[in-house]
Structure 1
Amino acid sequence: MTDTQFQKGPSTWRIVLAAILDFLTAFFVLGYLVASIFGGKTEEGFNLQGGPAFLMFALVVAYFVVFNKFLGGTIWKRILRAQR
């Protein structure tokens, strides 16, 4: 069998690293944006409670769903070439 018959996927470490970096990026960027809108910014960063915290977590989930399903992969998956 030739190499063209086996399509090797990305390395596991790339997939795991992309997932971690995507979560951290989405958490901090979206958290800061929600905190800016709803007044949760602090000197150390942001502090979200109640509705704004729920909104931020919903946006993080939406980030993964929208990017993976409709845009061909998340930001870090594209950067690290960790798409399956």
Structure 2
Amino acid sequence: MSDQTSSPTLTRPAFWRRGLAGLLDFITVFFVGGYAIGSLTGETTNNGFNLNGLPALVLLVLIVAYFYFGWKVWGGTIWQRILGARPVP
């Protein structure tokens, strides 16, 4: 008798999809989050935003939180879902 307890294997999408999704996620969160924080703190310029000190730290925390929740809680970030770059069981 053989005990076959197999865990589901994950099929990894192509590297270029995962890499492009990560890059686009970072760019999206950086610009959307940066502009939103800049608007709330009055640190917008004619060319976008210029964050210094605490607002810059808040943006960094926002970026880390986005990737953490995207990977661990929501099952994929926005661009992973768009590009089909999430691991599929």
Normalising by structure 2, we get a TM-score of: 0.84
* Aligned length in residues: 79
Classify 1:45/1:12 alpha carbon distance in 2 versus 1 (closer, same or farther; 3 Å).
same
Aligned to 1:81: 84
Cα shift at 1:7? 6.2
Query: What is the percent sequence identity of the aligned residues?
Result: 49
Deviations 1:44-77 (A, max 9, x none): 0000000000001100110000111111100000
Secondary structure of residue in 1 paired with 2:52: coil
Aligned to 1:48: 51
1:9 pairs with one of 12, 17, 31: 12
2:75 pairs with one of 72, 76, 79: 72
Aligned to 2:5: none
Q: Does 1:33 align with 2:56?
A: no
Structure (1/2) with the larger helix percentage? 1
Q: Which runs of 4+ in 1 moved over 4 A?
A: none
Which ranges of structure 1 fall in alignment gaps of 5 or more residues?
Answer: 1-5
Give the number of the structure whose alpha-carbon radius of gyration is greater. 2
Normalising by structure 1, we get a TM-score of: 0.89
Which ranges of structure 2 fall in alignment gaps of 5 or more residues?
Answer: 1-8
